[in-house]
Amino acid sequence: MIKLIEAHHLGDFRITLRFSDGTEGIFDGNEFLKRNGPLLDALRNESYFQQAFIDAGALCWPNGLELSPTRLHQTCKALDPA
């Protein structure tokens, strides 16, 4: 089972992610926040978005929003190796 082991905020609603299999990528919150939902409203504030943390291998925020590490792994953009 894949887990998220590291996350760093880049700015502009983007977070670098490192997974338990060694892969790394970028989660683009701009795309994610185009969706609707009550838990997403708070994340539209950059300072709140920056409060992301890892809990049990998932990307989480204080309002209870939790993103599956497996789904993040499938959808995040690969980091440029350069």
What's 62's domain CATH number?
3.30.2020
Q: How many CB atoms lie within 10 A of CB 4?
A: 25
Q: What tokens were used for 18? A: 């490192």
Determine which helix (DSSP H) or strand (DSSP E) holds 1, and give its type and residue range.
Answer: none
Q: Domain residues for 17?
A: 4-78
Burial (CB count within 10 angstroms: exposed 0-12, middle 13-18, buried 19+), residue 59 = buried
Q: What is the pLDDT of residues 22-50, one digit of tens each?
A: 999 999 999 899 999 999 999 999 999 99
This prediction has a pTM of 0.89
| Mean pLDDT in residue range 1-29 | 95
Count how many domains the chain has.
1
